[in-house]
Amino acid sequence: MESIQILDAKKHVGETVQIGAWVANKRSSGKIAFLQLRDGTAYFQGIVVKSEVGEEVFQLAKNLNQETAVLVTGEIREDSRSKFGYEIGISGLEVVGESHDYPITPKEHGTDFLMDHRHLWLRSSKQHAIMQIRNEIIRATYEFFNKNGFIKIDPPILTGSAPEGTTDLFETNYFDQKAYLSQSGQLYMEAAAMAFGKVFSFGPTFRAEKSKTRRHLIEFWMIEPEMAFMHQEESLEVQEQYVAFLVQNVLDNCDYALDVLGRDREVLKKYTKLPFPRISYDDAVALLQKNGFADIQWGDDFGSPHETFIANSFDQPVFILNYPKAIKPFYMKPHPTREDVVICADMIAPEGYGEIIGGSERAIDHEYLLEQIRAHGLDENEYSWYLDLRKYGSVPHTGFGLGLERTVTWLSGIEHVRESIPFPRLLNRIYP
């Protein structure tokens, strides 16, 4: 008899198979027991009929505790009433690992309790669906960049540089030197772009931000493409194509997860239409001021109410272009005719999910960059390798970073970024 994963059920209808699973829930009458099972790939129902299995197996089934691990044997059948679509008619049942007093019961629990039990909470159907969407976004990311001629390059995690500002750094000892956990792989990806043309990275990044919002993690994963011989307008096209591709692949490949999450497919479909709208920072400020945001002045960074208002003015993700130089990092390309802004763009997700991409064209002039490094209070010796890139065949180049967790949160339609990563690192939480 074949051992299968229930996700492959449609290939095995009518066959008798064996599945390793855990008991998520159960209900029973005197003659029939319904086991709610999960095997890691999906949630499905197992049906135990007393007259078919006999008294002993039926009693065993009836008394299974939540999260007991079992091997079930039985016939795969179609089950049009369930979300999953297939069930197993159980003929044999063996307990592999017992479970007593599982803390997460089917009743409602508070968030703190669930976060304390994150190692178990991951087993629940909603968390399961979110992780499938996360996995699909990662898979589609590799597909998109590989088919568009990018090569994956891995920047270091332990670094001596601070691309995104010196205030949010995790510092650690590197023998007798100081080192930081990477805030962004960008500077290394620029070196890689000068070596390989089009590159992308995917890895963990760290920000010691004291922000306790539904969009901020201390440790998050970023996808950072960098492209040589490319200006900002072309980069915006890559960005919108990439994001639309992610949405399309989630629609195509995450049916079950979208059902579990109750995510409206018609809403997601709007995000596959190109191009995405673009608005300048200047116009965004004017739009906010016209609509009663008295707190915002030209030169301010946007907070989440501002981003949400701007996003709600459009039906798709929107690019905000060319922010004030004073609120952006040192490496961005200066505007050709204006002193006060740089050539950059943030992509703001719809529905209040905030910024999912930050990117820019990069400054390529050696003297200008050196000046900026000094003006930002950075130690030029630590950046001399980076400045080398502007000495030996410096070319126009541009890149961006997409925050994986914000994207997962948005496409899943969930409230808070903490559920988009298996073990979130938050302000005041490093357990479990």
35 neighbors 69 (Cβ within 8 angstroms) = no
Residues comprising the chain, all counted: 432
Pick 185 or 358: Cβ nearer Mg ion: 358
> Is 389 among the residues that bind ligand 4AD (CB under 6 A)?
no
> Is 67 among the residues that bind ligand 4AD (CB under 6 A)?
no
Closest CA to 411 of 284, 271, 279: 271
Pick 90 or 279: Cβ nearer Mg ion: 279
Q: Report, in Å, the least distance between residue 168 CB and ligand 4AD.
A: 8
Q: Report, in Å, the least distance between residue 192 CB and ligand 4AD.
A: 12
Which of 89, 155, 350, 403: binder of ligand 4AD (CB under 6 A)? 403
Q: Name residues contacting Mg ion, limited to 330-369 (CB under 5 A).
A: 358
> Is 217 among the residues that bind ligand 4AD (CB under 6 A)?
yes
Would you call the peptide bond into 275 cis, given omega within 30 degrees of 0 as the criterion?
A: yes
Which of 182, 184, 394, 409: binder of ligand 4AD (CB under 6 A)? 184
Residues with Cβ within 8 Å of 307's Cβ and at least 6 positions away in sequence, in order, are: 348, 354, 355
> Is 405 among the residues that bind ligand 4AD (CB under 6 A)?
yes
> Is 224 among the residues that bind ligand 4AD (CB under 6 A)?
yes
Task: State whether residue 398 is helix, strand or coil.
Answer: strand
Task: State whether residue 23 is helix, strand or coil.
Answer: strand
Q: How many CA atoms lie within 13 A of 397 on its CB side?
A: 26
> Is 234 among the residues that bind ligand 4AD (CB under 6 A)?
no
Which of 67, 164, 307, 419: binder of ligand 4AD (CB under 6 A)? 164
- Name the one range near ligand 4AD by CB under 6 A: 122-130, 133-141, 237-245, 401-409: 401-409
Task: State whether residue 396 is helix, strand or coil.
Answer: coil
Q: What's the DSSP call for residue 276?
A: P
> Is 320 among the residues that bind ligand 4AD (CB under 6 A)?
no
Site string for ligand 4AD, 336-365 (x = CB under 6 A): -------------------xxxxx------
Q: Name residues contacting ligand 4AD, limited to 196-215 (CB under 6 A).
A: 207, 209
Residue with tokens 């390989």: 196
Site string for ligand 4AD, 240-279 (x = CB under 6 A): ----------------------------------------
CA dihedral 217, 223, 227, 230 (to 10 degrees): -60
Pick 74 or 401: Cβ nearer ligand 4AD: 401
Q: Report, in Å, the least distance between residue 357 CB and Mg ion.
A: 8
Pick 120 or 138: Cβ nearer ligand 4AD: 138
Q: Report, in Å, the least distance between residue 210 CB and Mg ion.
A: 17
Q: Report, in Å, the least distance between residue 406 CB and ligand 4AD.
A: 4
Residue 399 binds which entry of Mg ion, ligand 4AD, none, CB below 5-8 Å type-dependent: ligand 4AD
> Is 401 among the residues that bind ligand 4AD (CB under 6 A)?
yes
Closest CA to 276 of 240, 309, 252: 240
Q: Report, in Å, the least distance between residue 236 CB and ligand 4AD.
A: 13
Residues with Cβ within 8 Å of 315's Cβ and at least 6 positions away in sequence, in order, are: 270, 350
Which of 194, 399, 409, 418: binder of ligand 4AD (CB under 6 A)? 399
Which of 216, 263, 333, 418: binder of ligand 4AD (CB under 6 A)? 216
Pick 45 or 360: Cβ nearer Mg ion: 360
Residue 46 binds which entry of Mg ion, ligand 4AD, none, CB below 5-8 Å type-dependent: none
Give CA separation, 72 vs 19, 82, 87, 90, in Å. 5, 19, 12, 7
Q: What is the DSSP string of 338-372?
A: -SSBBSEEEEEETTTTEEEEEEEEBP--HHHHHHH
Closest CA to 318 of 332, 329, 302, 330: 302
153 neighbors 201 (Cβ within 8 angstroms) = yes
**What kind and span of H or E run contains 234?**
helix 232-253
Pick 136 or 224: Cβ nearer ligand 4AD: 224
> Phi and psi at residue 395, in whole multiples of 5°?
-130, 160
**249/232 Cα distance (integer angstroms):** 26
**121/104 Cα distance (integer angstroms):** 7
Interaction site with Mg ion (CB under 5 A):
358
Interaction site with ligand 4AD (CB under 6 A):
163-164, 184, 186, 207, 209, 216-217, 220, 222, 224, 355-359, 399-401, 403, 405-406, 417
